[in-house]
Amino acid sequence: MRVLVVVESLFGNTHAIARAVAERLREDGAEVEVVDAASAGPRLDGADLVLAGAPTHNLGLPTDRSRASAVDRGAQPVSSGLREWIGALEASSTPVVTFATKVEGRFSGSASKAAAKLLRRRGLSAQQGTDFVVAGTAGPLTEGETDRAREWATTLHT
């Protein structure tokens, strides 16, 4: 199975989830590539499965404005993210499963839900996956979340 993991991450937590998922998938024999959303291409056809992850900003996907706000709080700037990548995607029948990070106890919106909705609106086959919890805006991931990511990876076999 060839898996492409496309990820946006301002403080590194969503990236850590992507790495944990990729590591587990590789252990199970998959060929996995992890790419930043800012540099991911518009074609999905080379992959059997695409995983798309982003941090939750304002109950949904990050925008230029919310990214600037993250940078004000010490995050690394990114030139674009998952929202823009989805906006430029070519039509494909490759299934996409979304994931996100969010702060525990906040409202119910999440980047994984928003990304799945946006992908479906563009005609792609998308499913909302799982959200992983961070302790605060900059992280860290709460205890056990990296293990939960590895476990989640085992449910993704096609």
Ligand X SMILES: Cc1cc2nc3c(=O)[nH]c(=O)nc-3n(C[C@H](O)[C@H](O)[C@H](O)COP(=O)(O)O)c2cc1C
Residues 6+ apart with CB under 8 A from 52: 5, 6, 7, 37, 82, 85, 86, 96, 97, 98, 99, 115, 119, 126
Confirm or reject binding of residue 56 to ligand X (CB under 6 A): yes
In sequence order, the β-bridge partners of residue 127 are 97
Choose the stretch contacting ligand X; rule: CB under 6 A; options: 12-20, 22-30, 37-45, 83-91. 12-20
Q: Please pick, from the candidates 44, 49, 61, 70, the single residue that binds ligand X as defined by CB under 6 A.
A: 70
The answer to the question of residue 59 lying near ligand X (CB under 6 A) is yes
Find out whether 54 and 62 touch, Cβ atoms under 8 Å: yes
* Interaction between residue 94 and ligand X (CB under 6 A): no
Which one of 20-28, 101-109, 114-122, 146-154 is the stretch in contact with ligand X (CB under 6 A)?
Answer: 101-109
Q: Does 11 bind ligand X (CB under 6 A)?
A: yes
Binding of ligand X at residue 137 (CB under 6 A)? yes
Tell me 60's DSSP state: B
